[in-house]
């Protein structure tokens, strides 16, 4: 019986240590689909970790940065110097499925979903954390590849107008048109 308890205790301890070793940051909910924008200057990227089964490569403008299985956590690389307000569009290539997903709006991705969270001022001001989802149609846990950048900010997408806003805009334009027609008849 003591051998069984010791064996279970060892197994649980092993499981716990594996879980702790694989822990990595994930950007906050509500930042899905944000863009990554340069603040100006040299940008450094740091690989923060993964729990993904699939092998994923991270690219910027077609240039390889990290692989989620072969790059050691904490690896930092310079991405170069970027002018302020330059959007950096990162691509996650899923080697197992051949799919690619991008930071920014959902329309950039083959399934129409946002596959990256982008959190500004993550650990220090000017540091952005990006966390990717690597599966087509989700489950959207954003734990498949996390990396951080210096001299960047996460930029929310402009709000999409509600249908009622469009209706008000059309009604307003109709009134402007009717007003002009009425004035031209008067003159």
What is the full DSSP assignment across 16-84?
HHHHHHH----PPTT-BTPEEEE-SEEEEEEEEE---SS-EEEEETTEEEEETTTSPTT-EEEEEEE-T
Apex CA 179: angle with CA 176 and CA 182, to 5°?
150
Band of residue 11 on the pLDDT scale cut at 50, 70, 90: very low
- In this structure, how many other beta carbons lie within 10 angstroms of the beta carbon of residue 97? 12
Where are the chain's structural domains? 25-155
Cα–Cα dist 64/57, whole Å: 7
| pTM as predicted | 0.72
Tens-place pLDDT, residues 130-165: 999 999 998 999 999 999 999 998 878 555 555 555
Q: Which CATH class is domain 25-155?
A: mainly beta
């Amino acid at each position: 019986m003591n051998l069984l308890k010791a064996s279970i205790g060892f197994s649980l301890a092993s499981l716990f240590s594996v879980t702790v070793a694989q822990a990595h940051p994930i950007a906050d909910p509500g930042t899905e689909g944000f863009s990554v924008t340069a603040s100006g200057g040299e940008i450094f990227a740091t690989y923060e970790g993964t729990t993904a089964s699939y092998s994923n490569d991270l690219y910027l403008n077609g240039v390889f940065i990290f692989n989620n299985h072969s790059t050691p956590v904490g690896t930092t690389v310079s991405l170069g110097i970027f002018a302020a307000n330059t959007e950096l569009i990162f691509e996650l290539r899923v080697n197992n499925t051949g799919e690619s997903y991008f930071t920014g709006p959902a329309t950039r991705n083959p399934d129409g979903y946002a596959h990256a969270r982008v959190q500004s001022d993550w650990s220090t001001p000017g540091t952005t954390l990006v966390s990717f989802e690597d599966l087509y149609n989700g489950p959207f846990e954003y734990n498949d590849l996390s990396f951080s950048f210096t001299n960047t900010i996460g930029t929310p997408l402009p709000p999409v107008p509600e249908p009622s806003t469009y209706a008000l805009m059309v009604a307003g334009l109709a009134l402007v048109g009717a007003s002009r027609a009425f004035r031209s008849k008067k003159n």
